[in-house]
DNA sequence: CCTATTAGCTAATACGTATGAGCAAACCGC
DNA sequence: GCGGTTTGCTCATACGTATTAGCTAATAGG
């Protein structure tokens, strides 16, 4: 058994098998129904395995103009929601023979990442909410793109029913008898965040309630932001008895702030988050939330992108993925004081 | 302004600038100190930007045998510890002009991922603990590899001082007056896990203590595992008053189990985790833990790998990264019952 | 048995870049 | 002003694969 100092190429395999290089290419990569005699095919395959041949994807990509790689751009890897999306996407991608190039947009701008990905000739790019807004069609050229959770964009999109998520949260709190309900979320955010807020406000309005403007607090969509927002709410004279948080990180921050301030949850304050990340089950009390199927969204985005690449068709699956209320321990009936 | 239907190549730029293709290559990619007249250089650069030229990394890689891409293989993306490692690595990689191909080893086996990465000619691979064990030198060929947190391997390694982490945890609990101390961790695990356990046991021994074998519970290194392990400990007649958990996920599971069982933490049970993932600050009470510098480990692994690639030298930085006790709210003096 | 067809392979080339060899012009010292 | 050096560029080619066109031998058709 020889130790090949250099990676074996199709030429090496050809020499080993006593055929020409194109024949090797035909056997090993071309349509499996290519017209090659069975005996030849076997010889080639044996020679290839003997030499440990492994195709050079760069060379292949150069001529086919395909890299069998997908780019995934997320705004923040530390947000577990996105790692779930990535995880779902990667599973599908790998099964279909694609590699995944991951970009955390915190480092450089999303546009820079997209440029880098295009340079590597990725066959397509999955852009997660928050990364998509900035980009113009111009900057991605003719690269295939699927956007997650930003349905306003001009690309095919996979999104959850964010408005319904907000409504569900609002209705739950109303049914529990709450009348003074707050909202914590960022001022300018993704389409998804805006729709969650909108659905929530709609649910209140349908019940004949309104939300006081100072109960609608603008905070960053993070644990720290949620904590700050809840502190502010608790210090108000007309403090709310319940709060819908734009995502679970904010909800967890809000919960922490309540506990630190000695406000029992859910007895004195009901909190509803959104996403259902693993942390929601880990905090005590466990966070009531609206589940967004992150992993499935990632998987669906990858499937959509791949079918777009391979069949050159854009199914544009515009159906919104359903969301689901997960009642846990941070919600309870409103405490009637008097 | 013309709309280039096709990606601009160096040939297009050359035509636009009235020079030859190699000149363009010299200006745009070769050593910046290449001998090109200033005027020519300017013309080329202008032509390139006019055409929106973007280098084709595949073609470049084909001739330079470099892809400017690094592979990162992690055992489980859902463990926040690894996303921190990835995050640190990615930051360094992107700054140095490398892209990052991410592989979650849960899907296929680590070896399959490595094969796929090699086919894409990644310049190097970062293997995280748990993925490394299975691989032989053979299967990675001459690809550069850096291993994170598995110092036993034959590749250059970046690792934290796991043994010291265990000792620190042990000493803390001893100083707090605990005498019956348990350990929760997996039976067969990474080198890091084994060393944490070993350091912990050593600390006990130095204080003249031993750990009863039934207080050394083998559980999966997850939240669920930690919860199960703590349930078992609590049901024992000689239940411990403190517990060191092999990582924060286990610690958080243990904490949850205590709270569910009505055992107050830290009054009746002290818990120490390891890693210091964000969740540790989020649970209530906040988890005392030993901080492992995950992000820095990722960054260092990337730097090590890149220097190995570019200078063809392997600094083998074998120094272990320091760990640090983070005392929070899950540890307290042992309760003297009688 | 001769021709039209097809099966099975190979020769040639393209993909877009980098790079060593080579060539013309400018420049230098004396 | 002449040999030698340096500057600034281009020619040719290689990287490893896929693919089109074409060639030979076998096969079918009559």
> What are φ and ψ of residue A263, in 5° steps?
-95, 115
- Among B58, B90, B108, the residue with its CB nearest the CB of A121 is B58
Choose from A76, A99, A298 for mutation: most chain B CBs within 10 A. Answer: A99
- Among A91, A119, A141, the residue with its CB nearest the CB of B56 is A119
- A277, closest residue in chain B (CA to CA): B78
Stated in angstroms, how far is B59 CA from C11 C1'?
A: 24
Same domain, A216 and A311: no
Annotate A194-230 with b (16+ C-beta within 10 A) or e (fewer): bbbbebbbebbeeeebebeeebbbebbbbbebbbbbb
For chain B, give percent helix, strand, coil, nearest 5. 45, 15, 40
SS3 at position B326: strand
Model confidence at B97, pLDDT cuts 50, 70, 90, reads confident
Same domain, A29 and A80: no
Nearest nucleotide to B35 by CA–C1' distance?
Answer: D8
User: Is residue A1 pLDDT above 50, yes or no?
Assistant: no
Same domain, A126 and A29: no
Helices (H), B18-109: 21-28, 38-51, 57-64, 80-95
> Contacts of residue A283 in chain B, CB cutoff 8 Å?
282-284
pLDDT at B1: 42
Partners of residue B274 on adjacent β-strands = B290
Which domain range does residue A204 map to? 162-293
Are A284 and B284 in contact (CB < 8 Å)? yes
The pair of structure tokens assigned to B254 is: 């243990």
Closest-CA distance, A204 to chain B, in angstroms, reads: 30
Percentage of residues of chain B with pLDDT beyond 70: 92
> Contacts of residue B80 in chain A, CB cutoff 8 Å?
78, 80
> Contacts of residue A66 in chain B, CB cutoff 8 Å?
none
Are B107 and A115 in contact (CB < 8 Å)? no
Phi-psi region at B265: left, alpha or beta (left = phi > 0; alpha = psi -120 to 50): beta
Are A120 and B86 in contact (CB < 8 Å)? no
User: Is residue A238 pLDDT above 80, yes or no?
Assistant: yes
pLDDT at A3: 47
Stated in angstroms, how far is B64 CA from C13 C1'?
A: 22
Nearest nucleotide to B34 by CA–C1' distance?
Answer: D8
User: Is residue A243 pLDDT above 60, yes or no?
Assistant: yes
Give the count of beta carbons closer than 10 Å to the beta carbon of residue B51: 18
Are B282 and A278 in contact (CB < 8 Å)? no
Closest CA to A268 of A242, A229, A302: A242
Residue B262 burial (C-beta neighbours within 10 Å; 0-12, 13-18, 19+): exposed
Choose from B81, B83, B100 for mutation: most chain A CBs within 10 A. Answer: B83
- Would residue A220 count as lying in a domain? yes
Closest CA to A104 of B116, B111, B295: B295
Distance between CA atoms of residues B46 and A215, nearest Å: 54
Annotate A103-114 with b (16+ C-beta within 10 A) or e (fewer): bbbeebebbebb
- Among A94, A102, A113, the residue with its CB nearest the CB of B107 is A94
Distance between CA atoms of residues A242 and A153, nearest Å: 33
Residue nearest to nucleotide C12 (CA to C1'): A22
Choose from A48, A57, A295 for mutation: most chain B CBs within 10 A. Answer: A57
Report the pLDDT averaged over residues A259-278: 96
Same domain, B249 and B192: yes
How high does pLDDT run on average in chain B? Answer: 89
Stated in angstroms, how far is B36 CA from C30 C1'?
A: 30
- Among A7, A67, A77, the residue with its CB nearest the CB of B58 is A67
Name the strand (E) or helix (H) holding A144: strand A144-148
Same domain, A36 and A144: no
Choose from B10, B53, B57 for mutation: most chain A CBs within 10 A. Answer: B57
| Chain D positions with any atom < 7 A from a protein CB | 7-12, 14-20
User: Is residue B127 pLDDT above 70, yes or no?
Assistant: yes
Are A61 and B57 in contact (CB < 8 Å)? no
Contact B323, B170 (CB under 8 A): no
Count of domains observed in chain B: 3
- Would residue B145 count as lying in a domain? yes
Q: How many residues does chain A have?
A: 338
Closest CA to B178 of B141, B204, B142: B204
Same domain, A215 and A273: yes
Same domain, B149 and B203: no
> Contacts of residue A57 in chain B, CB cutoff 8 Å?
119-121
Same domain, A91 and A170: no
Report the CATH number that the domain containing residue A308 is assigned in CATH.
Answer: 3.40.50.2300
Closest CA to B13 of B30, B31, B27: B27
Contacts of B152 (CB under 8 A, 6+ apart): B191
How high does pLDDT run on average in chain A? Answer: 89
Closest-CA distance, B239 to chain A, in angstroms, reads: 23
Distance between CA atoms of residues B28 and A94, nearest Å: 34
- Would residue B251 count as lying in a domain? yes
Contact B188, B214 (CB under 8 A): no
- Minimum mean pLDDT range among A294-308, B93-107, B240-254: B93-107
pLDDT at B17: 94
Contacts of A272 (CB under 8 A, 6+ apart): A169, A172, A173, A242, A243, A244, A245, A251, A288, A289, A290, A330, A331
Partners of residue A127 on adjacent β-strands = A73, A147
Give the count of beta carbons closer than 10 Å to the beta carbon of residue B337: 6
Task: Indicate yes or no: strand D within 7 A of the C-beta of A281.
Answer: no
Same domain, B19 and B33: yes
Give the angle A284-A286-A292 at the CA atoms, nearest 5°: 145
Task: Indicate yes or no: strand D within 7 A of the C-beta of B39.
Answer: yes
Distance between CA atoms of residues B279 and B282, nearest Å: 5
Same domain, B181 and B285: yes
Angle B21-28/B38-51 helices, nearest 10 degrees? 90
Mind listing the pLDDT tens digit for each residue in A12-39? 999 999 999 999 999 998 777 778 898 9
Closest-CA distance, A88 to chain B, in angstroms, reads: 10
pLDDT at A293: 97
Q: How many CB pairs under 8 A join A and B?
A: 134
Nearest nucleotide to B39 by CA–C1' distance?
Answer: D8
- Among B84, B94, B119, the residue with its CB nearest the CB of A57 is B119
User: Is residue B57 pLDDT above 70, yes or no?
Assistant: yes
The pair of structure tokens assigned to B17 is: 């600038």
Distance between CA atoms of residues B324 and B168, nearest Å: 8
The pairing of beta strand A289-291 with beta strand A324-326? antiparallel
pLDDT at B290: 98
Distance between CA atoms of residues B127 and B246, nearest Å: 20
Contacts of B101 (CB under 8 A, 6+ apart): A69, A99, A100, A101, A102, B69, B70, B71, B72, B117, B120, B122
Are B99 and A101 in contact (CB < 8 Å)? yes
Partners of residue B73 on adjacent β-strands = B103, B127
Report the CATH number that the domain containing residue B50 is assigned in CATH.
Answer: 1.10.260.40
Model confidence at B314, pLDDT cuts 50, 70, 90, reads low
- Would residue B2 count as lying in a domain? no
The pair of structure tokens assigned to A225 is: 């932001």
Distance between CA atoms of residues B250 and B226, nearest Å: 4
- Would residue B1 count as lying in a domain? no
Are A284 and B104 in contact (CB < 8 Å)? no
Closest CA to A84 of A316, A219, A326, A247: A247
- Minimum mean pLDDT range among A278-287, B13-22, B132-141, B153-162: B132-141
SS3 at position A276: coil
- Would residue B300 count as lying in a domain? yes
pLDDT at A132: 62
Mind listing the pLDDT tens digit for each residue in B262-284? 999 999 999 999 999 999 999 98
Contacts of A300 (CB under 8 A, 6+ apart): A88, A158, A317, A321
- Would residue B333 count as lying in a domain? no
Same domain, A154 and A189: no
**Protein chain A, residues 9-38, with a C-beta closer than 7 Å to any atom of nucleic acid strand D:** 9-11, 21-22, 25-26, 28-30
Report the pLDDT averaged over residues B195-218: 95
Same domain, A168 and A287: yes
pLDDT at A134: 60
- Minimum mean pLDDT range among A109-113, A210-214, B175-179, B324-328: A109-113
pLDDT at A30: 73
**CA A280 from centroid of its chain's CA atoms:** 18
- Among B80, B86, B94, the residue with its CB nearest the CB of A80 is B80
Stated in angstroms, how far is B37 CA from D2 C1'?
A: 27
- Would residue B5 count as lying in a domain? no
DSSP states of A217-257 as a string?
EE--SSHHHHHHHHHHHHTSTT--SEEEESSHHHHHHHHHH
């Amino acid at each position: 058994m020889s130790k090949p100092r250099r990676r074996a190429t199709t030429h090496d395999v050809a020499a080993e098998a006593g055929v020409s290089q194109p024949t090797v290419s035909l056997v090993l990569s071309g349509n499996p129904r290519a017209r090659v005699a069975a005996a030849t095919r076997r010889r080639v395959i044996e020679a290839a395995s003997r030499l440990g041949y492994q195709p050079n994807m760069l060379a292949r990509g150069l001529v086919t103009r395909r890299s069998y790689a997908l780019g995934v751009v997320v705004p923040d890897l530390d947000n577990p929601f996105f790692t779930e999306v990535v995880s779902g996407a990667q599973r599908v991608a790998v099964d279909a023979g694609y590699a995944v190039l991951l970009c955390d947009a915190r480092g450089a701008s999303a546009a820079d990442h997209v440029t880098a990905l295009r340079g590597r000739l990725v066959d397509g790019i999955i852009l997660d909410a928050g990364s998509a807004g900035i980009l113009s069609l111009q900057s991605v050229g003719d690269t295939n793109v699927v956007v997650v959770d930003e349905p306003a964009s001009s690309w095919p999109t996979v999104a959850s029913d964010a408005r319904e998520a907000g409504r569900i949260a609002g209705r739950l709190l109303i049914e529990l008898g709450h009348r003074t309900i707050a909202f914590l979320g960022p001022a300018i955010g993704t389409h998804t965040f805006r729709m969650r807020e909108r659905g929530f406000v709609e649910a209140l309005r349908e019940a004949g309630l309104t939300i006081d403007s100072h109960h609608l607090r603008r905070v960053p969509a993070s644990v720290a932001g949620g904590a700050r927002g809840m502190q502010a709410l608790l210090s108000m004279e007309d403090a709310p008895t319940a709060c819908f948080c734009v995502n679970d990180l904010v909800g967890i921050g809000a919960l922490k702030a309540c506990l630190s301030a000695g406000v029992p949850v859910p007895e004195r304050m009901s909190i509803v988050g959104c996403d259902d990340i693993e942390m929601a089950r880990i905090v005590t009390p466990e966070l009531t939330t609206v589940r967004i199927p992150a992993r499935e969204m990632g998987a669906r985005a990858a499937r959509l992108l791949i079918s777009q690449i391979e069949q050159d068709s854009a199914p544009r699956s515009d159906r919104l993925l359903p969301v689901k209320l997960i009642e846990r321990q941070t919600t309870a009936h409103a405490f009637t004081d008097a």
